[in-house]
Structure 1
Amino acid sequence: MPETTDPTFYRSPAAAIAAPPEQLAYVAAFDPTGEQRDAIAVVDCDAGSPSCGQVVGWGELPTAGNELHHFGWNACSSALCHEGHEGLLERRYLVVPGLRSSRTHVLDTKPDPRQPTVARVIEPKELAEKAGYSRPHTVHCGPGGIYMSNLGAANGDEGPGGVALIDHDTFEVTGRWETDRGDQYLSYDFWWHLNEDVAMTSEWATPAMIESGLNPEDLLGKRFGHHIDFWRLSDGRLLQRVDLGDEHQMALELRPAHDPSKTWGFLGVVISVADLSASVWAWRRDGESWAVEKVIEIPAEPADADRLPPALKPFGAVPPLVSDIDLSVDDRWLYVSCWGTGELKQYDVSDPRNPRETGSIRLGGIVARTPHPAAPELPLSGGPQMIEISRDGRRVYATNSLYAAWDEVFYPDGVGAWMARIDADTDAGGMAVDPGFFPHDGDFRGLRVHQTRLHAGDASSDSYCFVS
């Protein structure tokens, strides 16, 4: 495929870093009550713009109750290194799954990127009949089409969850990716090492386990996911299944190295039932197989039971609840969001087996409710939850809602809606909250906000096949 297809397809991580900075952010916004229509909010990120940090566009969906969660582009930098596509391919459409409704909306960001419009809807019936899945979750553009992970089987309650394939051009579901899943049953995230022909999947739960809130019996009974699976990407065959130990519950976000010559990455684990700590694990190729080891452990923070929600009172502590991790495009900095304590941590992972903490900021938190510097009088609920890094690594964007049915478990008085930008030192490490970037509450028209995507690509949207 010619490199001139789209200027936002970057040949290498270095090319992505050197490209012009992001101008806009797309933010998933949803109504947890299912009454108001869900939307993609468009936020101005241009530091030189008088409207920087403000919602400057709105792409409303025709339906409500979707629970917009994670979403992605129809095409990205991986298009430069795979064949099988005819005609023009460009980073133009946002593929936006509804985790609650099983409905997926495809939004066109042209001709006006500030006013995305719905171009197609993949209905739950099509996903169920053609791929056998429901509750779509994560979208990645890659070889042979668009890959979309799903939590549930066709019935919408149980598993196995897995990955559906979507056509680049028509956005029709073309089938199921897995051909031999072995013992894999639970599903969550999906990523890959393209040049190695290896994919990784992680595990959360079945839809029935999460959609009515967090059941303590599921957690204490160690029923959530605690594996990482390695697959052959080209044919969907399970190669290796690694158990982290069932005390490590909810193995969620996968972040492989961006440099295609590297065969390592990180996995975030929400909580340990042994001590409420959270952890980050690193995988690496070890001969013909894959080795996985814990490289970061974040302890729970003691707290007065009177300041804790009912679910945590018996423990007298706030768990970090690591709900997202993100790796900078240069593979040096790992960011870890602790949604429970309201902390965002920065680690230098130049040596991925020995991360070194280099920075921390706090916003919100179950007990602390740390305010944003733009509104010091406003205690914040929620915490840095979904995080996204600019391609040059200098800015980190955070939003504060986890999942509607679980927000109320840990923040019974509500989480509201807010988005923050954190400035990162990419030389020595360190972070500071941008005091002028704080869209919140009414700016999002009463909707909660989840994932962010940056207009020309970001640290978790693209994969690369070339080192230079």
Structure 2
Amino acid sequence: MALWKPDPTFYASPREAVKAPPETLAYVAAFDRAAAKPDAIAVLDVDPASDSYGSVVGWAELPNLGDELHHFGWNACSSALCPYAPHPHVERRYLIVPGLRSSRIYVLDTKDDPKKPSIVKTVEPEELAARAGYSRPHTVHCGPEGLYVTNLGGADGADGPGGIALLDHTSFEVLGRWEVDRGPQHLAYDAWWHIAHDVLITSEWGTPSMVEDGVVGELLLGRKYGHALHFFDLRKRTHVQTVDLGDEHQMVLELRPAHDPTRLYGFAGVVVSVEDLSASVWLWHRDGDRWAARKVITIPAEPADAADLPPVIKPFGAVPPLVTDIDLSVDDKWLYVSCWGTGELKRYDVSDPFHPVEAGSVRIGGIVRRTPHPAAPDLPLAGGPQMVEVSRDGRRVYVTNSLYGAWDDQFYPDGVGAWMAKLDSTPDGFAFDERFFPHGDDFRGLRPHQTRLQGGDASSDSYCYP
């Protein structure tokens, strides 16, 4: 009798994930802003013992133009070990890669040759629209019932509402719209969960027309972008509660729940306050029988000479931090906060999530400073730490510099360039790895955006056992 053995990269608990072997490959979504050549998945060697460490060692070019690859994910992860999971036999082998502008979703197989992912299926925008009523797929998360794909737009030209489409684990067909009752949510962005408690949380950015060409000043100052968190019953797929952070806090983006399934809290990043250009991080938590949120980190804007600023922020005479990504280590101790505008990556000790303590900072890029990488001190860099990914053991942190084509052009109008960096993180320090700096032509003229690590990472998996 054959016995099913779970994928060895599935971990029952965060503790087991932390003890797992380190990654040797990283997959990076890279896109062509001009849509003149195809986007691609770049494969990087992240094994320090390898002769090709820090180099692009594989390249999977996509067949179409203008996809603008965004937040991709694995087809399956540690959530497949949950007691009620119907698919404990699936493997972590496929990358599910959405095109934010094209509304296509690509499925790439990494099993036969991890350095040469191959396309095995393409979900066309017509299927996503017909079966789920959505467009503009943004973020992919693997759950026990299937693949959750958040979307910014509606179908058939509808600007919204955005929401979640569910895809089958094995066929990758679109099963349908996840929400049975979306409640008041209209704007969409990220979704995550407290999986052992049947709670799903969503955040808000804007509809396609609001984000298509970058930040719209009238919408921002009019406080029209998203500023709330929404809580759903994960099993019933129904809206339970809205927590409004205040309309001055514009664009509530990345969500990072605690990995420990017994802990009911998580962090949400807010891009900007229209009152003072600061950015912030909020903690959601239970308050009696309701959900609540409180601001636990505020990062102020940095004064600057208007002559050094791009037109979009020139009238303000300051550089906003623009917190566009956050990532929480698997042991729930360190929160990394990327300040794409100022070119800073901050590390906070969040052992007490209600009282984060800053515990390290590095600078690279930035709208005004253009800080170089230590490996190339004479090379000023544009862009800044944007997407940030943390290894399972928490010792390695990877950052890429491009955010979203339209934002790149607004905030770095002279060109955002292309680079990726790695930092070593220990309780005693937080610093760049000078051996790891792929940049420029290494990405063949494409802009690197999001990173996924072989075998999983801090933002790909959820765990059902403490």
TM-score between both structures, scaled by the size of structure 2:
0.98
Q: Deviations over 1:191-210 (max 9, x none)?
A: 00011100000000000111
Residues 315-342 of structure 1 show CA distances to partners (whole Å, capped at 9, x for unaligned) of: 1100000000000000000000000000
For 2:165, the equivalent position in structure 1 comes to 164
1:385-464 matches, within 5 Å, as: 385-425=386-426, 427-428=427-428, 430-464=429-463
Q: Deviations over 1:275-304 (max 9, x none)?
A: 000000001112221110000000000001
Instruction: Give the aligned partner of residue 292 of structure 1.
Output: 293
Query: Aligned in 2, Cα 1:257/1:3: closer, same or farther, shift over 3 Å?
Result: farther
| TM-superposition CA deviations, 1:159-195 (whole Å, max 9, x none) | 1000000000100000111011111000000000011
Q: Verify the 8 A CA contact 2:151 2:165 in the aligned structure 1.
A: yes
What is the CA deviation profile of residues 97-139 of structure 1, one whole-angstrom value per residue up to 9, with x for unaligned ones?
A: 0000000000000200000000100000000000000000111
- Deviation of 1:235 (Å): 2.0
Report the CA distance between 1:4 and its aligned residue: 2.9
1:230 partner amino acid: F
**How far apart are the structure 1 equivalents of 2:318 and 2:46?**
37
- Answer whether contact 1:135 1:156 (CA < 8 A) is retained: no
Contact 1:157 1:207 in 2 (8 A): no
Taking the TM superposition and a 5 Å limit, the aligned residue runs for 1:185-334 are: 185-334=186-335
Secondary structure of the 1:37 match is coil
Alignment coverage as a number of residue pairs: 464
What is aligned with 1:92?
A: 93
Q: Is the 8 A contact 2:86 2:144 kept in 1?
A: no
Query: Is contact 1:156–1:207 with CA below 8 Å preserved after alignment?
Result: no
Please give the alpha-carbon distance, in whole angstroms, between the structure 1 residues aligned to 2:285 and 2:177.
27
Q: Partner of 1:350: helix, strand, or coil?
A: coil
Q: CA deviation at 1:84?
A: 5.4
Say if 1:416 and 1:464 are closer, same or farther in 2 by CA, change over 3 A.
same
Partner of 1:34, secondary structure, is: coil
Residue pair 2:81, 2:88 contacting (<8 A) in 1 also: no
Secondary structure of the 1:14 match is helix
CA distance in structure 1 between the partners assigned to 2:354 and 2:185 by the alignment: 27
- How much has 1:50 moved relative to structure 2? 1.0
Query: Conserved in 1, the CA contact under 8 Å of 2:250 and 2:274?
Result: yes
**Which whole-Å CA distance do the structure 2 matches of 1:82 and 1:308 have between them?**
53
Equivalence for 1:122? 123
Runs of 4+ deviating beyond 6 Å: none
Looking at structure 2, the residues matched to 92 and 64 of structure 1 have their Cα atoms a distance apart, in angstroms, of: 25
- For residues 86 and 398 of structure 1, the distance between their equivalents in structure 2, rounded to whole angstroms, comes to 32
The equivalent residue for 1:354 is: 355
Task: Write the distance in 1 (CA, Å) between the matches of 2:450 and 2:85.
Answer: 30
Q: Is the contact made by 2:13 and 2:465 (CA closer than 8 Å) also made in structure 1?
A: yes
- In structure 2, what is the Cα distance between the partners aligned to 1:156 and 1:392? 44
2-structure distance, mates of 1:46, 1:82: 34
Q: CA RMSD in A?
A: 1.1
The residue identity in structure 2 corresponding to 1:407 is: D
Per-residue CA deviation, residues 238-292 of structure 1 (Å, 9 max, x unaligned), is 0000110000000000000000010000000000000000000001112221110
Gaps of 5+ in 2: none
Q: For 1:178, give the aligned amino acid.
A: E
SS of aligned partner of 1:16: helix
Separation (CA, whole Å) in 2 of partners of 1:279 and 1:157: 31
**Which region of structure 1 is more displaced relative to structure 2, 304-313 or 128-137?**
304-313
- For residues 337-352 of structure 1, the aligned pairs below 5 Å read 337-352=338-353
Task: Check if 1:62 corresponds to 2:63.
Answer: yes
User: Do 2:80 and 2:87's aligned partners in 1 also have CA atoms closer than 8 Å?
Assistant: no
- Paired with 2:433 and 2:157, the residues of 1 have a C-alpha distance of 41
| Residue identity in the other structure for 2:438 | P
> Is residue 336 from structure 1 mapped to residue 373 from structure 2 by the alignment?
no
User: How far apart are the structure 1 equivalents of 2:403 and 2:123?
Assistant: 24
Q: Could you tell me which residue of structure 2 aligns to residue 77 of structure 1?
A: 78
Asked whether 1:112 is paired with 2:113, we answer yes
Percent sequence identity is 68
Asked whether the 8 Å contact 2:6–2:88 carries over to 1, the reply is no
Distance 2:266 2:373 in 1: 32
Query: 1:389 touches 1:395 (CA, 8 Å); kept in 2?
Result: yes
Deviation at 1:75, TM superposition (A): 0.2
What CA distance in whole angstroms lies between the structure 2 residues aligned with 1:202 and 1:112? 36
Task: Name the counterpart of 2:138.
Answer: 137
C-alpha separation in 1, matches of 2:257 and 2:31? 29
Give the deviation of 1:14 after TM superposition: 0.7
